[in-house]
Amino acid sequence: MTTDYFLGVHQQELERLDRQHTAWQPEMQDLIKTANFADCKTILDLGCGPGFTTFELANNCPNSQITALDKAALYQEYLHFQINKNQTTNIQPLHADILDLTSQKGQYEGAFCRWFLAFLIADLPSILSAIYEKLEPGGVFAIMEYLTLDSFTSSPPHKSFDANTAAWNNFYLNNGGDAKIGMYLPALLQKAGFTIESQKCVGGMSPVKHRWWNWWRDAFENFAPTFVKQGLMTSTDFDELKDHWKKQEATETGFIYSAIIVQIVARKSY
Ligand SMILES: C[S@@+](CC[C@H](N)C(=O)[O-])C[C@H]1O[C@@H](n2cnc3c(N)ncnc32)[C@H](O)[C@@H]1O
């Protein structure tokens, strides 16, 4: 199994992923409906993390068996704990690296991933082919990934806000990821054999304290210290952005425009 991925695997990140799930929960619920996942007997949740997406699938698709794949041991332990605590019967954790599972075939009627493929850019064509193979004929694959972070805008503007966005883009690129994956993912899916059934972009206007405002501020607070350490952002920008968030919240008139996230529903041929 390859080493942990670059956003990190630890308790603080687990808790941030929980809050992040809440921030984007309505959009995930819409995607579950668009993909008709409730009709799938078996669904593979790829890069499920601590399982917030897995429980969302399990709760919305009570007749489906969900397999929850992730390579992070801590997140799989948390998922096992939650399954036992809630006496959940339709979730099966799978502690594995997607890169080691390329040979399994035709096991699932549905597959889902959110913020997963963007970490696997070098292997993307082979991973998409492997997911295609794992699906039964007619199987559905629903995806939520970044289209771009460049849409992030602050009103009023501040250069430290833009410096933080640039740091995120470079953090992905320096570690073999890409936060613009949504721009070329549909073409790669088609190359792997999928037919695109639907594409939609979500995100946008986020006034002070909106769930996406809180999400992005949370991400800033969790990751900017690392960006400063890695030379992706100056400590002056870090201090100024802390100040900017605080001032905006006090005025309650500011807003941000969020990252754009693409939601794709793709199907394997019958
Ligand atoms: C940003 S988290 C997203 C978690 C979850 N999908 C969500 O939306 O809350 C990305 C997850 O992908 C997992 N991951 C990254 N590369 C992986 C790989 N090669 N195989 C399996 N899991 C992987 C990480 O361990 C992490 O839990």
Answer yes or no: are the C-beta atoms of 67 and 40 closer than 8 Å: no
Measured in whole angstroms, how far is the alpha carbon of residue 86 from the centre of its chain? 24
Whether residue 2 lies inside any domain: the answer is no
Give the helix/strand (H/E) hosting 85: helix 73-86
Nearest CA to ligand 1 atom 23: 47
Nearest CA to ligand 1 atom 14: 47
Residue 49 CA to ligand 1 center (angstroms) comes to 5
- The Cα 266–Cα 100 span in angstroms is 23
CATH number, position 62: 3.40.50.150
- Identify the pLDDT of residue 4: 77
Whether residue 114 lies inside any domain: the answer is yes
Whether residue 5 lies inside any domain: the answer is no
**How many domains does the chain divide into?**
1
DSSP structure class, residue 266:
E
Nearest CA to ligand 1 atom 12: 47
Q: Which residues, listed in sequence order, are joined to residue 44 by a DSSP beta bridge?
A: 67, 111
Whether residue 186 lies inside any domain: the answer is yes
Give the helix/strand (H/E) hosting 46: strand 42-46
> How does pLDDT run along the chain (270 residues), one tens digit per residue?
556 789 999 999 999 999 999 999 999 999 999 999 999 999 999 999 999 999 999 999 999 999 999 999 999 999 999 999 999 999 999 999 998 876 678 899 999 999 999 999 999 999 999 999 999 999 999 999 999 999 999 999 999 999 999 999 999 999 999 999 999 999 999 999 999 999 999 999 999 999 999 999 999 999 999 999 999 999 999 999 999 999 999 987 899 999 999 999 999 998
Alpha helices in 98-184 (DSSP H): 124-134, 159-174
- The Cα 195–Cα 193 span in angstroms is 7
Whether residue 206 lies inside any domain: the answer is yes
pLDDT 10s digits, 19-34: 999 999 999 999 999 9
Mutate to test the pocket of ligand 1, among 10, 18, 29, 119 (most ligand atoms within 8 A of CB): 119
Q: Which atom of ligand 1 is nearest to the CA of 99?
A: 19
State the chain's mean pLDDT as an integer.
96
Residue 47 CA to ligand 1 center (angstroms) comes to 3
Q: Among all chains, which residue has been given the structure tokens 């968030």?
A: 245
Domain of residue 32, residue span: 11-267
SS3 88: coil
Whether residue 104 lies inside any domain: the answer is yes
Mutate to test the pocket of ligand 1, among 70, 175, 261 (most ligand atoms within 8 A of CB): 70
Q: Which residues line ligand 1 (CB under 6 A)?
A: 5, 7, 17, 21, 47-49, 52-53, 69-72, 75, 97-99, 114-116, 119-120
- The Cα 266–Cα 101 span in angstroms is 21
- Identify the pLDDT of residue 3: 61
Whether residue 198 lies inside any domain: the answer is yes
Whether residue 224 lies inside any domain: the answer is yes
Answer yes or no: are the C-beta atoms of 74 and 103 closer than 8 Å: no
Measured in whole angstroms, how far is the alpha carbon of residue 183 from the centre of its chain? 15
- Identify the pLDDT of residue 163: 98
pLDDT 10s digits, 254-264: 999 999 999 99
